[in-house]
Structure 1
Amino acid sequence: MRDVRAALLAGGLGERMGRLTDDMCKPLVPYAASCRLVDFSVANAARSGIPEVVLLSMHRERDLVHHLATHWDGAGVRVHFGPHDTLVRSGDLPPGAPLPPRPPESGTADALLTNAEYVFGPGVRDVLVQHADHVYTFDYGPMVAAHRDAGADVTIGVQRIERRFVRLFGMVEVDADLRVRRLVEKPAEPTSDLVFTAFCLFRAEVLEKVLGSLAALGEDGWQHDISRDVLPTMIADGRHVLAYPVSGYWADIGTVERYHLEQMRLLERPSPLPPADLPRTLAGGPPRFDADTHCLLGDGVVVPGDAVVRSSVLFPGCVVEPGARIERSVVLPDARVRAGARLADTVTAVGEDLTGPRTGLAGLEPA
């Protein structure tokens, strides 16, 4: 894997996450009572033996850079901070000072173009494009092997899902040899139950060439997006676009509703993401599943005997007071649920003080 470089897309605004991204960038939203969203992709790269991950960030990136430098850089993988790498490593950045602004970007393909000098380079044979808001545990090694054995120009992860949800993703159509014949982003009328998991492995020289040809179309000549431009162009040009089936759990956390829903799925037995397999950047120990309350409890969380807590996910640092009631909810770090508060089917914000009733996600989602 030494000639594979990962490019981590972490520049989205996260507007669909509503109040959860009021005070933090989306990749840093806590997850699974153990870590943050971005940790899954970086952990997968480290687990797979990929030597370097290039961070393609944009919004509120100082906090994201600090998180990755603290928890991941040098821990089985090197994190390259793009144009900020020298400054971050120099120690000359004053505490709390913002990072210099990056060039503006209109989409995911722009992120690759503006960071091309860090993504491409001598010794890089393949570029793995990842997203910082996807939840899954995966070894990319077999995917790299299949990609190279097939001589593919790009290999994309695919997974079968319920047809009714396909319109939320990139729909993929393949032939009997798993060669991709069509990719349609968020189709109005899906014709396949196969979706793009949005991580993909490009031959570096091919990706660089395709990006250059698209950029030559001018600012208004394309949509600046990997799923809407780069991959469809490669398919239309007859390049070898291979699908790699992804079994096991994978989730794209795009909205408050999905954020809540997918964490409720962690309470299933067996869990789709066993607590012992989760990255741990919020606390030293893994979360524990309490069978009596059917809850996932972060390291150090204490539930008073006279509080009622059922089918919920409680993060390290949260406080539940005696007399509180929490059902099918997610309580984030440093939130306090006061005596008499009643939570059902909802999510707290980080550090929120809950004193009364809250049911559902109204008020948390974007207006």
Structure 2
Amino acid sequence: MKALVLAGGSGTRLRPITHTSAKQLVPVANKPVLFYGLEAIAAAGIRDVGIVVGETQAEIETAVGDGSDLGLDVTYLRQEAPLGLAHAVLIARDYLGDDDFVMYLGDNFIIGGINALVDRFKAERPTAQIMLTRVPDPRSFGVAEMDARGRVVRLEEKPEIPKSDLALVGVYLFTSAVHGIVAELKPSWRGELEITDAIQGLIDAGRRVEATVISGYWKDTGNVDDMLEVNRLVLESLEPAVRGQVDENSELIGRVVIEEGASVRDSRIVGPALIGPGTLVADSYVGPFTSIGADCAISDSEIEYSIVLSRSSITGVRRVEASLIGRDVEVTPAPNTPRAHRLLLGDHSKVQISS
């Protein structure tokens, strides 16, 4: 079995971060979200991985390399434009050959990995196996309609009127039979080759498509709120560790990790929280569910429930919450300027001004 990892999207919902960085490389607990998927693939016993890349190819290649550090053998497959998930399968045809494969969306996060899913696929041998989860608003997802026996009967991409609340999770398993269907697909109303249409084609052809409804945790980390939520979840599993320096005037509470080369002075850190290597925290408060990247500086400030990427500084700021701060950012207080109210009031007016 091979893996096909999709890492070619532009990440418009995470701009401006993704103007200068691939969305799959935005870190969760100081590790790119893409790496969680690659580690899950390796843990499932899959070695050969094709990564579909676009305009951020160079950055992703620099981060992942040949995959050997993760126990993988990585091949990069260029997709000239984001023309749909099934289009990624189309361009990967020669690489995949006649092998079974798992397709994994590189910006998705699934707790618990994919071992059980892969084992079930190998044991039961359906033509395709998909993962579903219940969502409050299915209109932003591919949606599955099930019959009374729990079998998938219809799939629809981002429907205006969903037939169910079961959304497709970004992990799919296929035999080589899917290639014949993909080769005949026509672009959808979005101008893309939809993977939902490919799976529907398998169903219409009488092929067996199995679905697993997961009750565990899944997120498409395509926006800031989801990134912060996944960061929170990962940080909750931290084991406390102090590999850097913490002075006697500082206090660490709960699950806090201070990486090697980091320094904490006259500060209070309440976990779960992660302080990256080479980072200085001085005269500050770092609250729960915060990860701070490498070589940052947090001084005379307060920050909580946030992600700070490498080489950024926050100085003299009260208070930062629920924020995603990119690389090489400087956050400082606004200058104190004279404040004045300019008024034009009619006769007999009554005005209350908060000073």
Q: TM-score, normalised by structure 1?
A: 0.75
- 1:127 is aligned, of 79, 86, 101, to 101
Distance 1:112 1:81, change over 3 A: same
- Pairing 1:326-337 to 2, within 5 Å after superposition: 326-337=303-314
- 1:50 is aligned, of 46, 50, 55, to 46
- Pairing 1:304-315 to 2, within 5 Å after superposition: 304=282, 306-315=283-292
Q: Which of structures 1 and 2 has the larger relative contact order (alpha carbons within 8 angstroms, sep 6+)?
A: 1
CA contact (8 A) 2:13 2:222 kept: yes
Q: Secondary structure at the residue paired with 1:82?
A: strand
Indicate whether 1:32 and 2:29 are aligned.
Answer: yes
Distance 1:315 1:225, change over 3 A: farther
**Cα distance per residue 1:131-168 (max 9 Å; x no partner):** 1101124443432332344341100011234xx23333
Distance across 1 between alignment mates of 2:275 and 2:213: 32
Q: Which amino acid aligns with 1:47?
A: A
1:79 deviates by: 0.9
- Pairing 1:74-153 to 2, within 5 Å after superposition: 75-82=70-77, 103-121=80-98, 124=99, 126-153=100-127
Distance 1:30 1:145, change over 3 A: closer
CA contact (8 A) 1:341 1:354 kept: no
Distance across 1 between alignment mates of 2:71 and 2:188: 41
Distance 1:177 1:80, change over 3 A: farther
Q: Structure 2, unaligned stretches of length 5 or more?
A: 240-253, 257-267, 335-355
Distance across 1 between alignment mates of 2:114 and 2:289: 32
Distance across 1 between alignment mates of 2:221 and 2:211: 22
- 1:298 is aligned, of 275, 284, 289, to 275
Count of equivalent residues = 309
Indicate whether 1:321 and 2:317 are aligned.
Answer: no
**Cα distance per residue 1:159-184 (max 9 Å; x no partner):** 234xx233332222223544211222
Larger Rg: 1 or 2? 2
Q: Secondary structure at the residue paired with 1:303?
A: strand
Q: Which amino acid aligns with 1:45?
A: I
- 1:21 is aligned, of 12, 18, 23, to 18
Distance across 1 between alignment mates of 2:139 and 2:295: 36
Indicate whether 1:180 and 2:152 are aligned.
Answer: yes
Distance across 1 between alignment mates of 2:44 and 2:188: 38
CA contact (8 A) 2:8 2:56 kept: no
Distance 1:59 1:30, change over 3 A: same
* 1:197 equivalent in structure 2: 169
CA contact (8 A) 2:178 2:202 kept: no
Farther-moved stretch of structure 1 (42-51 vs 221-230) = 221-230
- 1:275 is aligned, of 219, 238, 241, to 238
CA contact (8 A) 2:284 2:302 kept: yes
Q: Structure 1, unaligned stretches of length 5 or more?
A: 84-101, 277-287, 358-367
1:74 deviates by: 5.4
Distance across 2 between alignment mates of 1:308 and 1:169: 39
CA contact (8 A) 1:52 1:77 kept: yes
Q: Which amino acid aligns with 1:333?
A: S
Distance 1:180 1:79, change over 3 A: same
CA contact (8 A) 2:84 2:195 kept: no
Q: Secondary structure at the residue paired with 2:137?
A: helix
Distance across 2 between alignment mates of 1:17 and 1:334: 19
Q: Which amino acid aligns with 2:329?
A: E
Percentage identity across paired residues of the two chains: 24
Higher relative helix content = 1
Q: Which amino acid aligns with 2:26?
A: V
**Cα distance per residue 1:52-85 (max 9 Å; x no partner):** 1101111220110121116x335322111237xx
CA contact (8 A) 1:222 1:229 kept: no
1:187 deviates by: 3.2
* 1:97 equivalent in structure 2: none
- 1:9 is aligned, of 3, 6, 16, to 6
Q: TM-score, normalised by structure 2?
A: 0.77
Distance across 1 between alignment mates of 2:47 and 2:74: 9
Distance 1:239 1:309, change over 3 A: same
1:302 deviates by: 4.8
The alignment yields a C-alpha RMSD, in angstroms, of: 2.8
* 1:246 equivalent in structure 2: 214
Q: Secondary structure at the residue paired with 1:230?
A: helix
